[in-house]
Structure 1
């Protein structure tokens, strides 16, 4: 090589594969939109949501997850999570999801009681004295005017996500072993803490 010329040797290695977070959601819009915020070019994680549409009951969410896992390989370092609301679902339906989540180390259940909007609310306030699903939505609308099953990703900054995690941890004390049975609590923070953020 002649003097003054630079060598442009490209690395021959393969770019490390991003960790997959497979998330089966009860909701079709809001939950996938929230989790897809973490899919950035700088992230070391890849989010894939299995959306429900009208098939939103806990058994159907679990079946959607099971079908994907039967047809695809989930690597040992990847994770599979089910994200549902407590809402009107029975304890036995939720227990089935909890048993599935405990069956493997890289499985998880993230449940909000009464619903996912409670987790969103924690990005803005402590979320105390929630009495119903409607109360949860009304409180959220004070922070996101016109909220109607849609979110503006710019409102969910890293700082607000960190605050939501702290508030959810405080409300989940002592930590629930399966799912949060108290109205006004959530374990979505356990999933969000595991997703790397740039």
Structure 2
């Protein structure tokens, strides 16, 4: 049995590393640009965690299947599926939620659109609005035209992120029982954001 190292004061030293296991994230997004651009901007050091972000342009059920195949090709600690309720059928959305859970995947969904997460940085929104209205609302809130596939939106909203997390948590509390396909507006994007934030140094 190897002897423990003893320091100059006679105490046994034990190496403590809070991040002994390097995390590998697979984030599979419904959108091809909007969501991937946002999550790729998290400044997580590569020696702490690796983040593979995929923009698939697929419906929720197909997206979960894609995540399943990608996970088979590599070894990830966490797999997240990011998709909207949007114009997809309730059956498709619910099946995706069930199948993701069965695979041990996490889901960061938005009902109705991912842009709800952006709006929550500015205000608590508990009234459902059409997807098309999010662009106008964000244009007003940002004070400039909202660009859907922006590569700078993460940095622009970062200082307000804690507000969005609190608003998202409070929004979910409004729904009892919680039925994701019907709870409009609602989102769990903050759960993925909080998980990534654990690895930002």
TM-score with structure 2 length normalisation?
0.78
CA RMSD of aligned residues (A): 2.6
Residues 1:170 and 2:174 are matched in the alignment: no
Change in 2 beyond 3 A, CA 1:97/1:125: same
Aligned to 1:20: 24
Structure 1 residue 190, shift from structure 2 partner:
1.6
The unaligned stretches of length 5 or more in structure 1 are: 1-14
Q: How does 1:1-198 map to 2 (within 5 A)?
A: 18-41=22-45, 44-52=48-56, 55-74=57-76, 78-105=77-104, 107-144=105-142, 145-151=144-150, 152=152, 153-157=154-158, 159-173=159-173, 174=175, 179=180, 181-195=182-196, 196=198, 197-198=200-201
Please tell me whether the aligned partners of residues 83 and 108 of structure 2 are also in contact (alpha carbons under 8 angstroms). Answer: yes
For 2:78 and 2:115, how far apart are their aligned partners in 1? 23
Residues 89-121 of structure 1: per-residue CA shift (max 9 Å, x gap): 11111122211232255x211110111001111
For 1:178 and 1:19, how far apart are their aligned partners in 2? 30
Runs of 4+ in 1 over 4 A off after TM superposition: 174-178
Number of aligned pairs?
179
Q: Please give the secondary structure, in 2, of the residue aligned with 1:46.
A: strand
For 1:43 and 1:113, how far apart are their aligned partners in 2? 34
The unaligned stretches of length 5 or more in structure 2 are: 1-18
Q: Please give the secondary structure, in 1, of the residue aligned with 2:52.
A: strand
For 1:62 and 1:104, how far apart are their aligned partners in 2? 9
